[in-house]
Amino acid sequence: MTIHIGAQPGEIAETVLLPGDPYRARWAAENFLTDAKLVNEVRGMLGFTGTYKGNPVTIHGSGMGMPSLSIYANELIKDYGAKTLIRIGSCGAMQQHVNVRDVILAMTSSTLSTPSRGFFKELQYAPCADFKLLEAAAAAARSRDVPLHVGGIYSADVFYDERPDLNEQMTRHGVLAVEMEAAELYTVAARYGCRALAVLTVSDHLLTGDALPSEDRERSFGDMVEIALDAAFS
């Protein structure tokens, strides 16, 4: 047990999927894992362990934002031996050619600040995904004929952003989408020699104002979960 995770030794798999929302963790575990068991509910942050095609998997909420994600990633790796961590979540598109419901694989993630910033001092560290995971996820998406984009994203440290000038420059420089966790996940994973990837579903569009209707979210997020699971065990 740790301060934030109440699972017993052996109850967390080496492969962990990390949705921000603990209730999305429950939904994914119930719909994609076999014999899923609740292993954590400390502070309402739910975690479940089961199997996918015979492979042990944990699906654990990470909360919103990089500080929360950092807590869970550190404890899952250092105290429970997690080796592969895949964020599954939503994002806001920042390019005209990216549409709502599309899937984005984050090759890199730019950011203004992360909880790990103090490690690097003046260095501008470039957080990136594990290439083999990225390659496997791209193959899994193509096999399902899911609209796919691979490239750089932006991990924001605020939700209610008031920097249209910054958004304009990111769009100009090809940043595909914005979310709030991937940059720290990639950094923590790199620190401990683990694999990490963010598989994201576009739920809204910053340029067009389009948004995914609530009744359609479950199907779109399901594609993302299956892509993540297949990539983990390819």
State yes or no: 89 annotated in a binding site.
Answer: yes
State yes or no: 88 annotated in a binding site.
Answer: yes
State yes or no: 107 annotated in a binding site.
Answer: no
State yes or no: 50 annotated in a binding site.
Answer: no
Is the distance from CB of 177 to CB of 200 less than 8 angstroms?
A: yes
For the chain, how are helix, strand and coil distributed in percent, rounded to 5?
35, 30, 35
State yes or no: 203 annotated in a binding site.
Answer: yes
Active-site position among 21, 79, 157, 204: 204
Please give the DSSP secondary-structure letter assigned to residue 7: P
Per DSSP bridges, beta strands 47-52 and 34-40 are: antiparallel
State yes or no: 179 annotated in a binding site.
Answer: yes
Residue 159 carries which side chain, given as an amino acid letter?
F
Q: State both tokens at 14.
A: 């080496």
For the question of residue 204 being annotated catalytic, the response is yes
**Residues of 115-129 as b/e, b for ≥16 C-beta within 10 angstroms?**
bbbeeeeeeeeebbb
Q: For the beta carbon of residue 158, count every other beta carbon within 10 angstroms.
A: 11
State yes or no: 59 annotated in a binding site.
Answer: no
Is the distance from CB of 199 to CB of 137 less than 8 angstroms?
A: yes
State yes or no: 205 annotated in a binding site.
Answer: no
Q: What residue spans of 58-130 are helical by DSSP H?
A: 66-78, 117-120
Beta bridge partners of 148: 103
Residues acting as catalytic residues: 204
Give the residue ranges of the annotated binding site: 4, 20, 24, 43, 87-90, 179-181, 203-204
Give the residue ranges of the annotated binding site for a purine D-ribonucleoside: 4, 179-181, 203-204
